[in-house]
Structure 1
Amino acid sequence: MDVLATLDPRLQPDSGKSTGTVFLVHGWPDLALGWANHIPFLLSKGLSVVALDKIGYGGTDLSEDVKFYTWKRAADDIATLSSQLGLSRIILGGHDFGGAVVYRTAIWHPDLVAAFYVLNTPFAAPTASGKFKQPALYIAATQDLTLPPSLSEGMETYFDSLGRGEIDGGHWARWEKPLEVDKYVGNWLATSVFGNASLNLTAGLGLGAP
């Protein structure tokens, strides 16, 4: 398995100085490679990027023990990797099943997750109360027959700050309309994330440090 060093240039913006770190979480069936056309855009914004293969995918280990595949374990794995990289604040991006992991990670590790964005995965609250405090963005696709935009109706109830985008595409809108995805994410970063000192995006001694 290819192991990236903490300061591997493939994870760093061209300037070498990071404004923060984004973890990208893929869905099913997919791999970290699915983010390939989105990563250059994030790097152009001065962000470091960690695109991970979830356990059981790609070159990762495969366990027969089901406890390794729970929502909580997936969230804790992201928190552990962040700690190993010296990061105490991250931005999360997710698609499909990965979007569900992003929501849970933001719930269970609110001090770690500064902000997050999700494609094609509307939020379904696991409890009847509580709100996300982090800035969030949800991008729907009008032709997604599996997770149509209508499933996201009422999501605002569970967010203090929720931005929205809608793309004329299917479930794989990230591949079909990459420039439109980048535009929505870029506008959200500019208006809700960058410049918000309270998010402390460069906290930590690893990839997120300036």
Structure 2
Amino acid sequence: MPTQPIDPVSDPRIAHKTARLDGYTYHYLHAEPRTGYSHTVFLIHGWPDLSLGWRYQIPMLVDMGFRVVAPDMMGYGGTDAPKVPPNSISLYGLKRASDDIAALAKEVGASRIILGGHDWGGFVVWRAAQWYPDLVSHVFSVCTPYTPPHDKFFSTEDLVNGPLPQFAYQLHLASGEVEKNVKDEQSIRQFLKGIYGARGPAGEVAFDPEKGVLVENLGTIGESKILNGKVLDYYVKEYCKHGIHPTLNWYRQRRTNWEEDQALLDKKVIKQPVLFIQATYDSVLKPEMSKSMDSLIPNLTRGEVAATHWALTQKPEEVNQVIRQWLDSQGLGKSKSAL
């Protein structure tokens, strides 16, 4: 029987909670089995997503006996969105996200966590596993390959002009131009539909990896197959709280991330058991980007799904099966001792 995704409006399987972490309020989804849980799984979303992006995975994990915690990350939904300036852009960085995950784990009483991520959340979980190896017992990432800390700084422009031309969209997202056109309920709705694969009547798209958001096409965009109905309504409502601007701060702190990474140069090898799930049709995080991961992750399991970047909701049963099989292979689940 297919997994029934979390209903954004009212679902008895989850609770919407908040926690004050290091001076800022985080909203998170919390779910656990009625009969008690074996381990705690944290799920970290990316852009432009929310904790509800894991709506198909949360029920599966609970059915397996796990407690699940899925926060809205800094700048998103029910979590605070501090302005930059006067605040530091590092609030939207990988180190701060890792620190806040550790603080939230303490808040919910979890001394060890299994950590899963997608998109930016994938980048976060790699670093959190390095910053907090005693907290993070296992790691899985959907779409996002591991990129180790590097002693030399490479700007986004360096990547675009070199090995990753498909990262040019990040320059557009960081430029400040997107929020000039995506700024009210209607434009946010069209933007979200377009990013999640909807097209216009003549096949117009809203996003091009080598250009960014094609704002001139937003007005023509139709319905998305993977973000629609009450889920789309929920996303629009949540994105209207802060606007799109703070979520784009994640693309404005590459140098800050690199500076903080310097403390991890001797921790490039990820020692925890890892699952990496490749989406074979991801136009940005392409399969070839993950080729060198094996040398830095001794305990790596690979899986793949025939999906675009939005594998979590486009091919949820396939993604869930890969995660489930890996967790089983690690001896985790209902009958195991609690973490």
TM-score class, shorter-chain normalisation, is 0.7 to 0.9
Count of aligned pairs between the two proteins: 194
| CA offset digits 1:122-179 (Å, max 9, x no partner) | 1111147631111110000111011111110020111120000111110001111101
Match of 1:180 among 315, 318, 326: 318
What CA deviation, in whole Å up to 9, does each residue of 1:47-83 have, x standing for no partner? Answer: 0000110011001111122231121100000001111
Mapped to 2, the partners of 1:85 and 1:116 lie a distance apart of: 19
CA distance in 1 between counterparts of 2:58 and 2:277 reads 17
Within the alignment, does 1:81 sit opposite 2:108 as a pair?
A: no
* Corresponding position: 1:139 with 2:307: no
Secondary structure, counterpart of 1:87 in structure 2: coil
> 1:38 aligns to what?
57
- Residue 189 of structure 1 aligns with an amino acid whose one-letter code is L
Which structure has the larger Rg over C-alpha atoms?
Answer: 2
**Do residues 60 (structure 1) and 79 (structure 2) align?**
yes
The answer to whether the 8 Å contact 2:31/2:58 transfers is: no
| Secondary structure of residue in 2 paired with 1:3 | strand
Distance 1:136 1:155 in 2: 11
Q: Distance in 2 between matches of 1:75 and 1:44?
A: 27
**Pairing 1:1-210 to 2, within 5 Å after superposition:** 2-3=16-17, 11-15=31-35, 17-64=36-83, 65=87, 66-127=89-150, 130-194=268-332, 202-203=338-339
Question: How high is the sequence identity, in percent, across the aligned residues?
Answer: 45
What letter is aligned with 2:147?
A: A
Unaligned runs of 5+ in 2: 1-15, 20-28, 151-264
What CA RMSD, in Å, does the superposition of the two structures yield over aligned residues? 1.9
**Cross-structure match for 1:206:** none
Task: Indicate the residue corresponding to 1:208 in structure 2.
Answer: none
Q: Give the Cα separation in 2 of the matches to 1:177 and 1:14.
A: 27
- Report if aligned partners of 2:42, 2:69 keep a CA contact under 8 Å in 1: yes
Compare 120-129 and 183-192 and name the one that shifted more.
Answer: 120-129
Q: Secondary structure at the match of 1:74?
A: helix
| Matched position secondary structure for 1:19 | coil
Q: Which runs of 5+ in 1 are unaligned?
A: 204-210
Farther-moved stretch of structure 1 (72-81 vs 56-65): 56-65
- TM-score by structure 1 length? 0.87
Deviation at 1:201, TM superposition (A): 6.5
**TM-score normalised over the length of structure 2:** 0.55
Query: Aligned pair in 2 of structure 1 residues 163, 31: CA closer, same or farther (>3 Å)?
Result: same
Distance 1:81 1:52 in 2: 9
Deviates more, 1:105-114 or 1:125-134: 125-134
Amino acid at match of 2:51: A
Answer whether contact 2:17 2:30 (CA < 8 A) is retained: no
- Over 3 Å counting, the alpha-carbon distance change for 1:4 and 1:76 in structure 2 is closer
Q: Which of 1 and 2 has higher RCO (CA within 8 Å, sep 6+)?
A: 1
After superposition, the Cα gap between the structure-2 partners of 1:201 and 1:54, relative to the gap in structure 1 and judged at 3 Å, is: farther
After superposing on structure 2, the runs of 4+ consecutive aligned residues of structure 1 that deviate more than 4 Å are none
Give 1:14 deviation, angstroms.
3.4
Deviation string for 1:16-52 (max 9, x for gaps)?
x111000000000000011111110000100000011
**1 or 2, which has the higher helix percentage?**
2
Is the 2:30–2:70 contact (alpha carbons within 8 Å) kept by the matching residues of 1?
Answer: no
Deviation at 1:4, TM superposition (A): 5.5
